[in-house]
Amino acid sequence: MKTGIVVFPGSNCDEDLVSAVSSITGGNVVKLWHKEADLHGCDVVMLPGGFSFGDYLRSGAIARFSNIMNSVIAHAGQGKPVIGICNGFQILCESGLLPGALLHNIHRKFICKNVFIRPCSKRALITAGLDSGRAYKIPIAHGEGNFFAPEETFLEMCEKDQVIFRYCDENGNHTEESNPNGSLDHVAGICNVAGNVMGMMPHPERASDNAMGNTDGREILQQLYSAVNA
């Protein structure tokens, strides 16, 4: 199992992902520079958080045109796993691999704190085996994490089980206070219809080691690799 982590100018969570994934899979993780077109035989492709191209225009709007994205789109089209975290999620939406868009947080402020999320989808590889009744504590760090989709699109997404995580409180309740950025219906992550392309705003790689005082994110990443290896 080989994992490729795409690096754009402005990516800053790539090393975090390398460390987290390596500890789970035992290694075989490579970085993929955005100007390349070759995925180097990677089975799983990840787009990390950060500020690709300085978040100019819109977050992810320029990165979407990097050479490697054509290969990522082809990889996804073959049913292979692609996951975007934070800025990576924004890039997946900009590229059309995921529906909807990430708008400015409702309070127009950058948010960096721990939040709680509940798994929703049984379709997506990353949530299929997680406990849907449990609240997982995962950090967020974003200024544009407010998920939006037109009503018709979102209703279809819900019908097709494409919402993978929703923000909640520590008891798993979806309250106004537990929605940090104003996301539509508390959405914290979504997937495509096939469930192989996934995007989430919270950072599981930042909650994947005992030294961080939280390993809830490690469980989420472990679920992804368990599903891929099944």
- Torsion from C-alpha of 31, 37, 39, 45, nearest 10 degrees: 70
Q: Given 75, 142, 186, 203, which residue is catalytic?
A: 203
Is residue 104 flagged as an active site residue? no
Is residue 36 flagged as an active site residue? no
User: In whole angstroms, what is the distance from residue 50 CA to residue 214 CA?
Assistant: 21
Q: Given 86, 93, 120, 168, which residue is catalytic?
A: 86
Residue 147 CA, chain-centre distance (Å), reads: 12
Instruction: With CA atoms as reference, report the closest residue to 47 among 25, 26, 71, 27.
Output: 71
Residue 3 tokens read as 């994992």
Is residue 86 flagged as an active site residue? yes
Instruction: With CA atoms as reference, report the closest residue to 83 among 185, 1, 201.
Output: 201
Residue 50 tokens read as 């950060």
- Residues designated catalytic: 86, 203, 205
